[in-house]
Structure 1
Amino acid sequence: MKIYLHMNFSTLTNSYLVVNEETKKALIIDPCQISKDIITQIEDGGYNLEAALVTHKHKSHISGLKTLKKIYDISTYAADTEVSSDLNLIQGDGVIKVAGLKIEYFSVPGHSSDSIVYKIGNTIFTGDVIFAGRVGSSSCNYTKTRLCNGIRTKLFSLGDEITIMPGHGPLTSVGAEKHFNIDLKALSAD
């Protein structure tokens, strides 16, 4: 598996092109903006783009989905039907196979009701659930507590070596977040 990071500088949102190197099949996680660089990478790499996986329905994470669907015949996976009219709805926790890759998914609500984290190999794509040093914003203390509990029970149990690829900002790891995440430490102190 190979992962390419593409950042939309106007919203500082990360998109990830994930490639199965054996089959040349690919998927994109959070198609925030479809740039010439993404299209060139897909085409020059000879990749067959099969799907878009959406971590949550906020506009900054899905604004490029319509453009992508005009260019490629792809499936879309998300936990909210408002993302796309032709959606593969996923809810709760489970496993799907896309682009020849086993993808585990976990519902971790709190930032939004439809927040989904995807795990491929030793990497999790968290959208706005968790960032380097912080957790996603929440509307109240209840949803923030729910988010932090979901992170601790579902994501921290995956192992310290798991790489976190967030919707914004730099990469981090489960181990680093266990020890240094300000929001999780503050909530523990309450």
Structure 2
Amino acid sequence: MNDAAAFLVEHGGAVLFVAVFAEQIGLPVPAIPVLLAAGARAGAGKMSLATAIVLSLVACFAGDLIWYELGRRRGRHALNLLCRISLEPDSCVRRTENFFERHGLRSLILAKFVPGLSTITPALAGLFGVSGRQFLLYNGLGALVWSVAFIAPGYLFSNQLESMAEQAAR
């Protein structure tokens, strides 16, 4: 077993939490491969499926709550900070506001699957005065759907993913 695989086996839960949290706060860390790997570990009996889902949910909530509160307390300053690091800073705020206005609270679910919007949408919810209760409900549903959408395939295809990992390690 190579060093990376050994590290994941030993610290899989922490790696999952950190990767999801980092992606949710806007760092360029790809969480999807880690979610797939967590699902594969659960499928192989090396991690509880429920643990993988809960860790992903908690990491999503932690990152999203930071941006929600910043949007609620700092308003446009939080959005400008997020959009400053965007590939298209000039149109970032306008496009995301249009997306949120068009889809309403459903945008908290849909945005999880759109890179960039996933980070900005919680701040918009805070800026637009979405209640904490509504935010927790819709964001929680989005986090659950997103987490399961990537953990489940890893779980279902754990044997195939393990074979691929073994071949890649050779």
TM-score (norm 2): 0.27
Q: Which has a greater percent of strand?
A: 1
| Larger RCO, structures 1/2 (Cα 8 Å, 6+ apart) | 2
Q: Which has the larger radius of gyration?
A: 2
More helix by share: 2
